[in-house]
Chain A
Amino acid sequence: MIGFLSPFILLGLLALPLLWWMLRAVPPAPSRRRFPGVRLLLGLKDPESIPDHTPWWLLLLRLTALAAAIVAFAQPVLNPRAQVAGSGRLLVLLDGGWASAPDWRLRLSRVEGIIASANRPVALRLLTAPLPAEGDLGFTAAQDLAPIIQSLSPAPYAPDRDAFAAWLSENPQEPFETLWLSDGIGDAASLASALKAHGKVTLITGLSPAVSLLPARIEAEMLITPVHRVDTRAAQTIPLIAIGPAPDGIEQVLWRTEASFEVGESDANAPFDMPFELRNRIRRIALAEGGSAGGVVLADSGLIRRKVALYTASDSQEGPQLVDPLFYLKKALEPSSQVIRGTLDELLLAVPDVLVLADVATLSEEETKRVLAWVEEGGTLLRFAGPRLAAASRDLGITDPLLPVRLRAGGRQLGGAMTWDTPKRLRPFTDESPFAGLQAPEEVEISAQVLAQPGPDLVGKVMASLEDGTPLVTSARMGQGRIVLFHITANAEWSNLPLSGLFVDMLTRLSVSARNGAASADELVGQNWLLTRALDGFGNLVDASPSTAISGDTLTSGPRDAASPPGYYQSNEREVAINLIHEDALPYALKGLPLGIAHEGFAAQPETPLKPFFLLAAFMLLTVDIFASLFISGRLTGGAQAALVLLLLVPSPQAKAQDERALLAADNTVLAYVLTGDTRTDEISRAGLYGLSRTLFERTSIEPVDPISIDIERDDISLIPFLYWPISDQQAPLSPLAVSKINRYLRNGGMIMFDTKDAHLGAGSIHGAALQRLTAQLEIPPLAPIEPDHVLTRSFYLLEVFPGRWAKGQLWVEAPSSLTTIEGAPFRNLNDGVTPVVIGSNDFASAWAINPQGRPMYPVGSGARGERQRELAKRFGVNLIMYVMTGNYKSDQVHVPALLERLGQ
């Protein structure tokens, strides 16, 4: 949409036809030229009839130029904003919810524009902010609001429009005009009519309402994330990323996928078809672009598939399946976990998350020790009682270290033919129990159990008990893991608990099983939850400030609000992720707007004045006109033609030579340097590596071709053995993709040499800081100043110092891991300790640099000593590349005497 600030100037366009007529009538002015040969020309006649008016295309050119100039001075504007004209009070209302987050910057700049141009009392309100206490909206001078605009941020929940509408009706206001920057979703009926009652309302909405993610679930071994969108007008593909910790604990993008929408579709599923182990590491799933709280799904144990090992002593397949001690467990766990079975040895080797021992009385001492060690490292041992355990306890009164409580000899039978008692029901779970909130069905009855030995610490270990208070489930912490004992069998022999749904819920609570998808209401109610980490409006996780506990009812009922924002909540060591969007309350397009509300598109593009472009066009047309006129009058000769050709020559973008580059790197040995964005530094790097390549060619069997430059963001570095990376403060920060690329490169044997070029690696230096910034995300091992016996000192030349253009800088390499002296060879054992990075500060490239004639380009030191230093620098370069190529081979060499000696025997 184009508007004009001074439209009346466009009337000038009416004059163009007149101009046309005038220009047509006037022939091009002749040029006067002194020429002695004129006498010979006298009497000659022009042989052809020449048109004596300007050719039409030249006229058109001139008229277009003039029209462009006229349009330019009418000040055209692309995406013009409504002028905040008018007087009286103005309320600027922002929805401020999560759906505003993707274009929050634009909204704020829009608000800034409004406030800057409003010359009247203005009030600024976020619908997500607490309601004003006093009966006034706080209208104030516009300039007072300007400083606070940039500090506004969206809330991770939806705006409460009805509350503000109610407040307006309770607190009568003087008339005011409203500019409402809405996020385009939700019900706006009550607020819109309330605002309309006070004055003119202009609704400004974004280009398209936000896209939201629904809690992920697992289907057919695939992680499915439902994606919901409000604007269904166009087909769309929305990229998603899954984020989780890498093995080193640093969060990174684990997987990418996308959700495809057809026209008219509002829901789509984004599948994450990723390996099991990787999937278990997912911490959250987010939209790759346009982040908001609604565009993030936090993952909790619901997405984790645990590896559960089932083991029973009577592992016979001969008996009827239904009395198999593990049958019900298997049924309960299989949908949601990876269940493995086998001998105890095999199971422990598989490092399961949970080990279930169903009715196993005794383990060998060795097995006990191993299981114990596994539990202490964080395993969950889940034991079920049974006839064997009961028999063992009767015999021994055991104090098995793998039981949470001591058992009394024998168990008890309830409601059997020989007893007076009736089968017992469950006592409601206490608040401290991890099962708190679960409802025990009436029909669950326990008819036999093993009994815990009463003791002072028994109470703390009980997780569930029967009506009469006898413990049913007990647990004990052990190291980082825990041991849980169900005092009943895992099959229906002693009770019908395994037959009930409660059994599955209990397993879930014990983190043995996992629910699929979001935490259900049953899981949350009845407990108090403490917010640990919260989502902000942009979808970033922030540590929550200490807050009061929130009851699970609040979390399950009603939408998220300021009191219960989405995030991670904790209760009794259990953590659940509460997400913003629930499938029962999907976002929908703004509705309920009364008539008579001005609606304005919220242009994604900011207002763009087009005047410069039109002026430029006019200018260029006139330039063309100059040449055209010259051409017409025959004065376009020689140099002028060349200039025209130069003007017309559009520099063609250089074709990318990625493939050639890769081929070059694959077919040859090639050194590479990283482009820093600083032309001078890059040139030095190139010349330096060129010099080093020549030196290598002359002195060693490494025969590199000319060095290549690497754009670290775009180019493939996997084929480059050595990267020289001078540090420049102009280096752009690395993108996540580049970081992962470099990390992969370093892991797989690449070497990067960072050179700060400032001769000292102090924390204070600019380049040092730049280096720290740059390498913050890279997987760089612990570094140490180079040892005098490092392989670098003898990989080709024997060196003691490593000078470049400067001599004093310290060289840092990976810290040695072990220090072994070998008989007869006082060398460090550095096998496989090839450092992935070398960090120096001596400006090596400048010392190596030679020009195409082979002469050094930069002075090093002074006089003969300087040349000696340059020679040493070259030797260091040779050593370095040798080290890159041969690794710790020279370190191995020191074993040769020992090896020879052994061979001799």
Chain B
Amino acid sequence: MSQTAQSLRAEAQALSGALPPLLADAERLASNVAMGAHGRRRAGSGESFWQYRHAMPGDNLASIDWRRSAQGDALFIREREWEASQTVGFWVDPSKAMDYQSAKFVPKSTRAKVLALACASLLSRAGERVSLLDTAAVRPGFGQAKLHQMAIALAGLSRSEDYGILPLPHGARGGHRLFFSDFMGAESDIFPALHAHAEAGNDGALIHILDPSEETFPYDGRIIFESMGGAIDFETRRAKALREAYQERLDERSVMLKDWAHRAGWHYLRHTTQENPQAALLWLFSALGVKR
């Protein structure tokens, strides 16, 4: 289900309006430098003073702080605190599986997009830079214009694959990565990419979005199940009998993701579309801010 950019953004703004501005944890994101709102408690490019150090051979002459050096014999170099905003990269699963919805609940994709945009809105307000991986809005940025761009990109998000394939990291290293997906795809489409992101020094969170019917499996009788794109199908004579096996497999996938996240220092959230998105956003708030 694709929504218009306007409505998506309005919904996301409404959702994020209830939270205080989120200051992303800047500590871990060392390398991806950009001038930002707050210092990184280490020397680097910035405007506020950080420390003086002895000049070393190879230092640029222009970087010597002559006023400090004049007080003694040694040459000092004035270092400023590294002030940079971090980059939070969002990835929302664009596959057809995300378009699934049961009964009165919203499609998973809608929930994912709203959560992503709400989070982006919060971060943007806090001066962080946000980007939408794997889309036209991949360049980090902030402000209403960026959000607007992201909203447009999200609204137009739709691919023909049945299941999402996580993008590989490229370019900038470090920063946060938020993956919104149902993680229903093949393991090979998920974990290698996750490893790559972790290795690239990214911090992040996995938001496992499911439809309630995907958890409860309320089916019985003779049913042919098809993937959303129709590429995969499976016939059962008595769906009810498969429920436990299915739920076991789902939990297995869930545990697998959680374990991976634990090992990588990432966060993992399992969220169903019948839950309140506010709760998920609060969780994201705490997940991004916990290490500050």
What's the Cα separation between A478 and B163 when bound, in Å?
A: 122
**A36 in complex: contacting residue of B100, B220, B240, CB < 8 Å:** B100
What's the Cα separation between A726 and B86 when bound, in Å?
A: 83
Give the residues in chain B near A653, CB-CB below 8 Å.
Answer: none
With A47-B241, A50-B237, A50-B238 already in contact, the answer to whether A37 and B223 are too (CB < 8 A) is no
Give the residues in chain A near B249, CB-CB below 8 Å.
Answer: 40-41
Give the residues in chain A near B228, CB-CB below 8 Å.
Answer: 34, 36
What's the Cα separation between A48 and B245 when bound, in Å?
A: 14
Q: At the interface, yes or no: A249 with Cβ under 8 Å from chain B?
A: no
Q: At the interface, yes or no: B59 with Cβ under 8 Å from chain A?
A: no
Chain B 77-97 interface mask (CB, 8 Å, partner A; 1/0): 000000000000000000001
Docked complex: A18-36 residues within 8 A CB-CB of B: 27-36
Give the residues in chain B near A42, CB-CB below 8 Å.
Answer: 232, 234
Chain B residue with minimal CB distance to A630? B221
What's the Cα separation between A376 and B51 when bound, in Å?
A: 147
Chain B residue with minimal CB distance to A637? B218
Q: At the interface, yes or no: B222 with Cβ under 8 Å from chain A?
A: yes
What's the Cα separation between A38 and B224 when bound, in Å?
A: 9
- Is B237's CB under 8 angstroms from A41's CB? no
**B234 in complex: contacting residue of A28, A41, A637, CB < 8 Å:** A41
- Is B225's CB under 8 angstroms from A41's CB? yes
Give the residues in chain B near A36, CB-CB below 8 Å.
Answer: 97-98, 100, 162-163, 182, 184, 211, 214, 227-228
Q: At the interface, yes or no: A46 with Cβ under 8 Å from chain B?
A: yes
- Is A634's CB under 8 angstroms from B239's CB? yes
Distance in Å: Cβ of A30 to nearest Cβ of chain B: 4
Q: At the interface, yes or no: A44 with Cβ under 8 Å from chain B?
A: yes
- Is B226's CB under 8 angstroms from A33's CB? yes
Q: At the interface, yes or no: A632 with Cβ under 8 Å from chain B?
A: yes
What's the Cα separation between A52 and B226 when bound, in Å?
A: 21
What's the Cα separation between A164 and B48 when bound, in Å?
A: 137
- Is A32's CB under 8 angstroms from B224's CB? yes
With A37-B250, A39-B184 already in contact, the answer to whether A48 and B241 are too (CB < 8 A) is yes
- Is B100's CB under 8 angstroms from A35's CB? yes
With A36-B97, A46-B238 already in contact, the answer to whether A31 and B224 are too (CB < 8 A) is yes
Give the residues in chain A near B232, CB-CB below 8 Å.
Answer: 38-39, 42
Distance in Å: Cβ of A80 to nearest Cβ of chain B: 46
With A41-B236, A50-B238 already in contact, the answer to whether A34 and B100 are too (CB < 8 A) is yes
| Most central of A32, A39, A52 by chain B CB within 10 Å | A39
**B237 in complex: contacting residue of A29, A35, A37, A46, CB < 8 Å:** A46
Q: At the interface, yes or no: B68 with Cβ under 8 Å from chain A?
A: no
What's the Cα separation between A38 and B184 when bound, in Å?
A: 9
Q: At the interface, yes or no: B246 with Cβ under 8 Å from chain A?
A: yes
Chain B residue with minimal CB distance to A30? B222
- Is A41's CB under 8 angstroms from B222's CB? no
- Is A44's CB under 8 angstroms from B245's CB? yes
Chain B residue with minimal CB distance to A629? B221
- Is A31's CB under 8 angstroms from B223's CB? yes
Q: At the interface, yes or no: B217 with Cβ under 8 Å from chain A?
A: yes
Chain B 103-136 interface mask (CB, 8 Å, partner A; 1/0): 0000000000000000000000000000000000
What's the Cα separation between A28 and B222 when bound, in Å?
A: 8
What's the Cα separation between A49 and B240 when bound, in Å?
A: 13
Distance in Å: Cβ of A37 to nearest Cβ of chain B: 5
**A33 in complex: contacting residue of B163, B182, B225, CB < 8 Å:** B225
Q: Is the interface of A mostly helix, strand, loop or mixed?
A: loop
**A38 in complex: contacting residue of B186, B226, B238, CB < 8 Å:** B226
What's the Cα separation between A873 and B150 when bound, in Å?
A: 72
Give the residues in chain B near A633, CB-CB below 8 Å.
Answer: 221-223
Q: At the interface, yes or no: B235 with Cβ under 8 Å from chain A?
A: yes
What's the Cα separation between A47 and B244 when bound, in Å?
A: 11
- Is B226's CB under 8 angstroms from A32's CB? yes
- Is B221's CB under 8 angstroms from A35's CB? no
Give the residues in chain A near B253, CB-CB below 8 Å.
Answer: 40
Distance in Å: Cβ of A471 to nearest Cβ of chain B: 112
What's the Cα separation between A33 and B221 when bound, in Å?
A: 12
Give the residues in chain B near A38, CB-CB below 8 Å.
Answer: 225-227, 232-234
Q: How many residue pairs, one in A and one in B, have C-beta atoms under 8 Å apart? A: 107
Chain B 159-182 interface mask (CB, 8 Å, partner A; 1/0): 000110000000000000000001
Q: At the interface, yes or no: A574 with Cβ under 8 Å from chain B?
A: no
Chain B residue with minimal CB distance to A40? B249
- Is A39's CB under 8 angstroms from B226's CB? no
Give the residues in chain A near B186, CB-CB below 8 Å.
Answer: 39
- Is B226's CB under 8 angstroms from A37's CB? no
What's the Cα separation between A46 and B227 when bound, in Å?
A: 19
**A35 in complex: contacting residue of B222, B226, B238, CB < 8 Å:** B226
Give the residues in chain B near A39, CB-CB below 8 Å.
Answer: 163, 184-186, 227, 232
Docked complex: A166-225 residues within 8 A CB-CB of B: none
Docked complex: A618-672 residues within 8 A CB-CB of B: 632-635, 637
- Is A634's CB under 8 angstroms from B221's CB? yes
- Is A46's CB under 8 angstroms from B236's CB? yes
**A634 in complex: contacting residue of B163, B223, B227, B234, CB < 8 Å:** B223
Give the residues in chain A near B220, CB-CB below 8 Å.
Answer: 634-635
Give the residues in chain B near A47, CB-CB below 8 Å.
Answer: 241-242
- Is A37's CB under 8 angstroms from B163's CB? no
What's the Cα separation between A778 and B118 when bound, in Å?
A: 81
Give the residues in chain A near B49, CB-CB below 8 Å.
Answer: none
| Most central of A28, A44, A52 by chain B CB within 10 Å | A44
Give the residues in chain B near A50, CB-CB below 8 Å.
Answer: 222, 237-238
Q: At the interface, yes or no: B283 with Cβ under 8 Å from chain A?
A: no
| Most central of B97, B213, B221, B245 by chain A CB within 10 Å | B221
Chain A 305-324 interface mask (CB, 8 Å, partner B; 1/0): 00000000000000000000
What's the Cα separation between A35 and B237 when bound, in Å?
A: 16
Give the residues in chain B near A634, CB-CB below 8 Å.
Answer: 219-223, 238-240
Distance in Å: Cβ of B216 to nearest Cβ of chain A: 11
- Is B214's CB under 8 angstroms from A37's CB? yes
Distance in Å: Cβ of B255 to nearest Cβ of chain A: 13
What's the Cα separation between A866 and B230 when bound, in Å?
A: 72
| Most central of A30, A47, A635 by chain B CB within 10 Å | A30
What's the Cα separation between A660 and B217 when bound, in Å?
A: 53
What's the Cα separation between A27 and B238 when bound, in Å?
A: 13
Chain A residue with minimal CB distance to B221? A634
**A31 in complex: contacting residue of B162, B221, B245, CB < 8 Å:** B221
- Is A635's CB under 8 angstroms from B221's CB? yes
Give the residues in chain A near B225, CB-CB below 8 Å.
Answer: 33-35, 37-38, 41
Distance in Å: Cβ of A55 to nearest Cβ of chain B: 13
Give the residues in chain B near A27, CB-CB below 8 Å.
Answer: 222
Give the residues in chain B near A52, CB-CB below 8 Å.
Answer: 237
Give the residues in chain A near B213, CB-CB below 8 Å.
Answer: 35
- Is A40's CB under 8 angstroms from B238's CB? no
Chain B residue with minimal CB distance to A49? B237
What's the Cα separation between A634 and B98 when bound, in Å?
A: 25
Give the residues in chain A near B242, CB-CB below 8 Å.
Answer: 41, 44, 46-47
| Most central of A35, A36, A37, A41 by chain B CB within 10 Å | A36
Distance in Å: Cβ of A45 to nearest Cβ of chain B: 9
What's the Cα separation between A41 and B236 when bound, in Å?
A: 10
Distance in Å: Cβ of A625 to nearest Cβ of chain B: 15
Chain B residue with minimal CB distance to A635? B221
What's the Cα separation between A27 and B253 when bound, in Å?
A: 35
Chain B residue with minimal CB distance to A35? B225
What's the Cα separation between A32 and B219 when bound, in Å?
A: 12
| Most central of B217, B227, B253 by chain A CB within 10 Å | B227
- Is A31's CB under 8 angstroms from B222's CB? yes
What's the Cα separation between A42 and B222 when bound, in Å?
A: 16
Give the residues in chain A near B221, CB-CB below 8 Å.
Answer: 28, 31, 632-635
What's the Cα separation between A378 and B217 when bound, in Å?
A: 100
- Counting from the closest, the 9 A-B pairs by CB-CB distance are A634-B221, A634-B220, A36-B97, A633-B221, A50-B237, A30-B222, A38-B225, A40-B249, A35-B225
Q: What 8 additional pairs, Cβ within 8 angstroms, besides A46-B238, A635-B221?
A: A30-B223, A36-B184, A39-B232, A42-B232, A44-B236, A44-B245, A48-B241, A635-B220
5 A-B contact pairs sorted by A residue (CB < 8 Å):
A36-B98, A38-B225, A41-B234, A41-B236, A634-B240
